[in-house]
Amino acid sequence: MAKKLLILAGDGIGPEVMAQVRRIIDWMAKKRQISFDVSEGLVGGCSYDAHGVPLTDETMAEALAADAVLLGAVGGQKWDDLPFELKPERGLLRLRKDMDLFANLRPAFVFDALAEASTLKTDLVRGLDIMIVRELTGGVYFGQPRGIETLPNGERRGVNTQVYTTSEIVRVARVAFELARKRGRKMHSVEKANVMESGLLWREEVQKLRDAEYADVELQHMYADNCAMQLVRNPKQFDVIVTDNLFGDLLSDCAAMLTGSLGMLPSASLGAADAQGRRRALYEPVHGSAPDIAGKDMANPLATILSFAMMLRYSFDMMAEADLVEKAVKNVLDGGLRTADIMQPGKARVSTTVMGEAIVRELDKLAG
CA–CA separation, 112 vs 151, rounded Å? 55
Pick between residue 139 and residue 301 the one whose CB is nearest to ligand IPM: 139
Pick between residue 188 and residue 287 the one whose CB is nearest to Mg ion: 287
Instruction: Mark whether 141 is an active-site residue.
Output: yes
Contact 248, 132 (CB under 8 A): yes
Residue of 49, 100, 253, 297 with catalytic role = 253
* DSSP 3-state of 61: helix
Q: Letter for the amino acid at 143?
A: G
Q: How far is the CB of 129 from ligand IPM (least distance, A)?
A: 20
Interface residues toward Mg ion, by CB under 5 A: 249
Pick between residue 49 and residue 89 the one whose CB is nearest to ligand IPM: 89
Instruction: Mark whether 192 is an active-site residue.
Output: yes
* DSSP 3-state of 10: strand
Q: How far is the CB of 57 from Mg ion (least distance, A)?
A: 26
Pick between residue 72 and residue 301 the one whose CB is nearest to ligand IPM: 72
Pick between residue 117 and residue 136 the one whose CB is nearest to Mg ion: 136
Q: Which residue blocks in 122-223 are alpha helix, DSSP H?
A: 122-125, 166-182, 197-213
Q: How far is the CB of 146 from Mg ion (least distance, A)?
A: 19
The residue sitting closest to ligand IPM, measured at its beta carbon, is 89
Residue of 48, 192, 223, 314 with catalytic role = 192
The one of ligand IPM, Mg ion, none whose footprint includes residue 191, by CB under 5 to 8 A per kind, is none
Start-to-end CA distance of the chain, whole Å, equals 27
Contact 304, 18 (CB under 8 A): yes
Contact 203, 189 (CB under 8 A): yes
Pick between residue 75 and residue 199 the one whose CB is nearest to ligand IPM: 75
DSSP code for 299: S
CA–CA separation, 32 vs 12, rounded Å? 31
The residue sitting closest to Mg ion, measured at its beta carbon, is 249
DSSP code for 17: H
Q: How far is the CB of 116 from ligand IPM (least distance, A)?
A: 26
Which one, of 19, 23, 111, lies nearest residue 335 by Cα?
A: 111
HSE-up (13 A, CA, CB side) for residue 128: 33
Residue of 141, 164, 214, 223 with catalytic role = 141
Q: How far is the CB of 109 from ligand IPM (least distance, A)?
A: 17
The one of Mg ion, ligand IPM, none whose footprint includes residue 92, by CB under 5 to 8 A per kind, is ligand IPM
Q: How far is the CB of 192 from ligand IPM (least distance, A)?
A: 18
The one of Mg ion, ligand IPM, none whose footprint includes residue 248, by CB under 5 to 8 A per kind, is none
Residues in the chain, total? 368
Interface residues toward ligand IPM, by CB under 6 A: 74-75, 89, 92-93, 249, 288
Q: How far is the CB of 105 from ligand IPM (least distance, A)?
A: 12
The one of Mg ion, ligand IPM, none whose footprint includes residue 54, by CB under 5 to 8 A per kind, is none
Bridge partners for 37 per DSSP: 4
CA–CA separation, 266 vs 322, rounded Å? 13
Pick between residue 289 and residue 331 the one whose CB is nearest to Mg ion: 289
Phi and psi torsions of 321, nearest 5°? -70, -40
Instruction: Mark whether 253 is an active-site residue.
Output: yes
Residue of 57, 112, 216, 225 with catalytic role = 225
Residue of 249, 283, 314, 341 with catalytic role = 249
Instruction: Mark whether 123 is an active-site residue.
Output: no
Q: Letter for the amino acid at 117?
A: A
**DSSP calls for 21-44:** HHHHHHHHHHHH---EEEEEE--T
Q: Which helix (H) or strand (E) holds 71?
A: strand 68-73
- Catalogue the active-site residues: 141, 192, 225, 249, 253
